């Protein structure tokens, strides 16, 4: 058997072994790359050695592979550390808000023991018509509150806790949508919010959520904090 043929078979065998090892992990690691490279060097045909250009190119590929793997590992560690630090800061801040009054951006309205609920919203500009749509969890309309000639800025209205048929609704949380248009019927940007006192903190997937009444509030939804 010619020397070149036998060397090709040896190199091919090493390549198959390394490839099978890599395929079991679905990736070609730097150890697999180096094993293939060394095997090829050890079993190259003496009458046709690897050229310098080819040698340098393959070494450069190996170096780039190792640098990319190290960079990816360092990036994953940094992101993990940043996430843990962010959660720690948020959780610490959440506990410091217990007993404080907060203004919260929310598309929810809560009927408590009083049987009524105060609704607050901001308008970008004067509105000719405003409709507050109150729905339950399955999306069914509970009540629609209409207002006209509503000024820009902060506005408040009290929901008497009655549904569209005049019957008292059950205590709990309802969904709220504020629809506003100007005198020409153009849509106006509106944001609903409510004021309440933080009763406690509940941890959901490691993140601190404020409990205000029966509503869970993420810190990102808090607009103002008052003593």
pLDDT digits (tens, 9 = 90+) for 22-37: 444 455 556 666 676 6
CA dihedral sign, ordered 201, 108, 149, 184 = positive
Measured CA to CA, the distance from residue 192 to residue 37 in angstroms comes to: 64
Return the higher-pLDDT residue of 62 and 193. 193
Tokens encoding 72:
């990816």
pLDDT tens figures, 49-101 = 555 456 556 666 766 766 777 777 777 777 766 656 566 666 677 788 888 88
Its pTM surpasses 0.95:
no
Cβ–Cβ under 8 Å, residues 12 and 18? no
């Amino acid at each position: 058997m010619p020397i070149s043929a036998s060397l090709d078979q040896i190199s091919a065998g090493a390549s198959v072994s390394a490839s099978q090892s890599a395929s079991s992990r679905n990736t070609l690691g730097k150890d697999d790359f180096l094993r293939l490279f060394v095997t090829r060097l050890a079993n190259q045909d003496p009458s046709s050695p690897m050229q310098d250009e080819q040698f340098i190119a393959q070494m450069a590929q190996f170096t780039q592979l190792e640098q990319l793997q190290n960079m990816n590992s360092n990036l994953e560690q940094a992101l993990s550390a940043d996430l843990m630090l962010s959660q720690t800061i948020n959780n610490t801040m959440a506990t410091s808000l217990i007993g404080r009054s907060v203004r919260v951006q929310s598309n929810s309205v809560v009927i408590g023991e009083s049987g009524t609920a105060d609704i607050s919203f901001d308008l970008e500009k004067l509105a000719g018509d405003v409709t507050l749509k109150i729905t339950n969890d399955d999306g069914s309309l509970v009540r629609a509150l209409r207002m006209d000639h509503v000024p820009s800025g902060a506005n408040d209205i009290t929901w008497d806790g009655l549904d569209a048929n005049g019957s008292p609704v059950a205590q709990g949380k309802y969904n709220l949508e504020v629809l506003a248009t100007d005198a020409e019927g153009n849509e106006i940007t509106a944001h609903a919010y409510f004021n309440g006192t933080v009763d406690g903190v509940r941890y959901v997937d490691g993140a601190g959520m404020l409990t205000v009444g029966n509503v869970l509030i993420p810190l990102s939804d808090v607009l103002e904090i008052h003593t």
